[in-house]
Amino acid sequence: MKTTTAAGAESKNKAPAVRLRRRQRDGRLIAAVLAASAYVSVAVTLGIVGVLAYEAVQFFRLPLDAAGAGRLAGRADLQRFAEARPDLLGRPLALVREFFTETTWSPLFASKRFGVLPLVAGTMVTSAIALAVAVPLGLLAAIFLSEFATRRLRDRLKPSLEVLAGVPTVVYGYFALTFVTPWLQDHVFGQALAGQNALAAGLVMGVMILPLVASLSEDVMRAVPADLRHAAYALGATPLEVTLRTVLPAALPGIGAACMLGLARALGETMIVALAAGQSPAWTVNPLEPMMTLTAFVVQVSLGDTPYGSVEYRTLFATGALLLVMTLAINATSIAVIQRVRQRYA
């Protein structure tokens, strides 16, 4: 009887230790799953970057590969490149210089030129117009929702605003093409505005990224400690002064991040620019004329009958790699600016 009682007491003493070991084991398992998820995301990103870099290098190697007489016999893409651009054979640096400095982009034509500047100009013009719409409107909406709207009104307005983020971009594209452009032609620019133009595409892109800028900015402003507001009110500041001189400076790093995310979203937008901005890689910064962006060219090549491994196919990855580098550069610049602003107002 005593032996049974002692065994039961010993079992009760061991139970907490067993539960503790089980919890520690479960915690390690969950941490391993979370770490694996993070590493998978990083691995996928590195894989995408690696494929883009490899294919882009293959594009810039075309002059070297096409210069080898033994390789021309078995590679139709090298034969076409050699026939189209005999002046570049054996001169890869000349292709690099043409890609980054010349203003004619016609890799799909018989007389191939590889100056990507028209696509860069189209991308930057449409993105700048989109930011000119989204940043001021989004920031004003965020200020109203965060500082002036009642809780009941904010709970109704914010979900309504965020519904815009769920509209398919192809709908935005047809909206720009069939409503915004005709309206601008009838009421503002007349026939000076082309049927497909960068202005309508940029305006509608601005509407598309408006919820992103407004929602993130409002979240950042609401995260500003209430003590700062109370201190400002205690000094006799008005609600507008509290907003402009206390809340906005404190939330400026987050607002800057929201604007940069909006810019990155605009740079990568495809359907709106493909439908509304046109497919003409013209070297211009006039928003009333048709333009082609980097993403629109990717769509144009992807939807055609482009053979795998052809010259046209390799330009697809060269433009994709350039777009990736532009996006990374903008993100890195924005992070540096945000850190400087954060240190200033810390």
pLDDT tens digits for 215-234? 989 988 998 888 989 999 99
Percent of the chain past pLDDT 70, that is, above it, reads: 92
> pTM value?
0.83
Nearest C-alpha neighbor of 284 from the set 96, 126, 176: 126
pLDDT above 60: residue 4:
no
pLDDT above 70: residue 10:
no
Do residues 209 and 266 touch, judged by C-beta distance below 8 A? Answer: yes
Residue 209: the pLDDT is: 92
Q: Mean pLDDT over residues 17-35, rounded? A: 89
Do residues 85 and 59 touch, judged by C-beta distance below 8 A? Answer: no
pLDDT above 70: residue 1:
no
Do residues 216 and 134 touch, judged by C-beta distance below 8 A? Answer: no
- Residues 81-102: tens digit of each pLDDT: 888 888 888 888 999 999 999 9
Q: Mean pLDDT over residues 7-25, rounded? A: 76
- Residues 133-172: tens digit of each pLDDT: 999 999 999 999 999 999 899 888 888 888 887 889 999 9
- Residues 242-295: tens digit of each pLDDT: 999 999 988 888 888 888 888 988 988 888 998 999 888 889 899 999 999 999
* Distance of alpha carbon 117 from alpha carbon 283, whole angstroms: 7
* Distance of alpha carbon 293 from alpha carbon 129, whole angstroms: 13
Which one-letter DSSP state was computed for residue 149? S
* Distance of alpha carbon 142 from alpha carbon 147, whole angstroms: 8
pLDDT above 60: residue 2:
no
Instruction: Kindly state the tokens that stand for 310.
Output: 């052809």
Exposure letters 129-159 (e unless 16+ CB within 10 A, then b): bbbebbbeebbebbbbbbbebeeeebeebbe
pLDDT category, 8, cuts 50, 70, 90? low
Other CB atoms within 10 Å distance of the CB of residue 183: 11
Q: What is the DSSP string of 97-144?
A: HHHHH---B-TTSSS--B--HHHHHHHHHHHHHHHHHHHHHHHHHHHI
Cα angle 87, 304, 61 (rounded to 5 degrees) comes to: 30
Instruction: Kindly state the tokens that stand for 247.
Output: 């809340």
* Distance of alpha carbon 221 from alpha carbon 143, whole angstroms: 8
* Distance of alpha carbon 204 from alpha carbon 273, whole angstroms: 10
Rounded to whole angstroms, what are the CA distances from 326 to 123, 130, 285?
10, 17, 18
pLDDT above 90: residue 73:
no
Residue 9: the pLDDT is: 62
